Amino acid sequence: MIHLLTTLPFTLSIVKMNAPALEKVDCPLLLARIGNTPLVPITSPNARVQILGKAEWFNPGGSVKDRAGRAIFETAIADGRMTRAKILLDATSGNTGIAYAMVGAALGYRVALVMPENVSDERKKIVRAYGAELIVSDPLEGSDGAIRVARELAQDATKFFYADQYNNDANWRAHYETTAPEIWEQTRGRVTHFVAGVGTSGTLMGTGRRLKELNRAIQLIEVQPADELQVIEGLKYMASSIVPGIYDAQIADRHIAIDTDAAYRETHRAARAEGLFVGLSAGAAIAAARQIAAEIETGIVVVVLPDGGDRYLSTALWQ
């Protein structure tokens, strides 16, 4: 039987690896609660395969991006790139922006975020509630359009620290240092497959690298939209997108393409049959995990559930 609640302590400071004696960042108790999220069982199509979802909405900011948001913020403060005189700036489809806004409020730093205008109303309202400045970009250009606007604004280096989550190593290192060890401990080293969608790709890159170090036999499954016409908020179709600098296509052992309809169906099924109220990218990841479970003989499949469904109530997903 798998132990579903982790007991790993969360470290109160994050510094860059291979960096000389960096100052540690004092961490409010709120931010110390990031990580140590539970694994929840998901119905498997194969009685001999267990599927466990990493329930990332248990983070205080409500998503998996709390991990990277905190790591990026604290690493930049520790090495001097982020100061009180600057505003942290980044492009985001929502969850990383919420994480930045929460961390900035907790630590007393200003945050400015570029989001496509068509992200859910809930996400825009949440970042404003935390006091962050919101800059909207062309909805037809998606996350890539937000990146282009952020890069243009970031030319004013005296005003902004450009966090650049898509190219910031602190993004994937957050998962290398926390998400992977948690999964290993929670499954007692018995995890056989790890499934994650890719947007910035930090979750898969960091968790995957560490899990492979712990056991080379663990299979890493990457989930993307089926093509550029399939819109699954939070995920990128890499073939037609600005590819994140931290992304390495060779990390995954397998790539699974999910179309929007399948993601919708699995998101609805998870809510109504499992009691798991998750976002659309989580639905896509569950669809991939259930596909893997149907194909293998035995195993333990861990799938990342990036956020809850409450951030999508105003979208077509629940209408």
Q: What is the mean pLDDT of residues 167-175?
A: 98
25 pLDDT tier (thresholds 50, 70, 90): low
Percentage of residues in the chain having pLDDT higher than 90: 83
29 pLDDT tier (thresholds 50, 70, 90): confident
Tokens representing 177? 């240092």
Query: Can you tell me which residue has the tokens 């998901």?
Result: 42
142, 196, 250 from 284: Cα distances, Å: 19, 9, 21
Task: Determine how β-strand 39-42 pairs with β-strand 49-55.
Answer: antiparallel
3-state secondary structure of 122: helix
3-state secondary structure of 81: coil
Checking if the pLDDT of 206 tops 90, the result is: yes
308 pLDDT tier (thresholds 50, 70, 90): very high
121-151, pLDDT tens digit by residue? 999 999 999 999 999 999 989 889 999 999 9
**What one-character DSSP code corresponds to residue 307?**
B
Q: Work out the burial of residue 49: count CB atoms within 10 Å of its CB; fewer than 13 is exposed, 13-18 middle, 19 or more buried.
A: buried
CA dihedral defined by 200, 308, 92, 165, rounded to 10 degrees? -40
Catalytic residues: 65, 281
CA dihedral defined by 51, 41, 260, 193, rounded to 10 degrees? -20
Q: Residue 62: left if φ>0, alpha if ψ -120 to 50, beta else—which one?
A: left
Rg of the chain in Å (alpha carbons): 18
Checking if the pLDDT of 269 tops 70, the result is: yes
How many angstroms separate the CA atoms of 170 and 16, rounded? Answer: 7
Checking if the pLDDT of 5 tops 60, the result is: no
Helix or strand run (H / E) with residue 304: strand 299-305
How many angstroms separate the CA atoms of 4 and 22, rounded? Answer: 35
pTM of the predicted protein model = 0.90
How many angstroms separate the CA atoms of 108 and 100, rounded? Answer: 11
Domains of the chain in sequence order: 29-61+175-318 (3.40.50.1100), 66-162 (3.40.50.1100)
How many angstroms separate the CA atoms of 303 and 291, rounded? Answer: 12
98-119, pLDDT tens digit by residue? 999 999 999 999 999 999 998 8
Query: Can you tell me which residue has the tokens 């600098």?
Result: 245
Residue 54's DSSP bridge partners are 39, 304
Q: Say what the pLDDT of residue 28 is.
A: 80
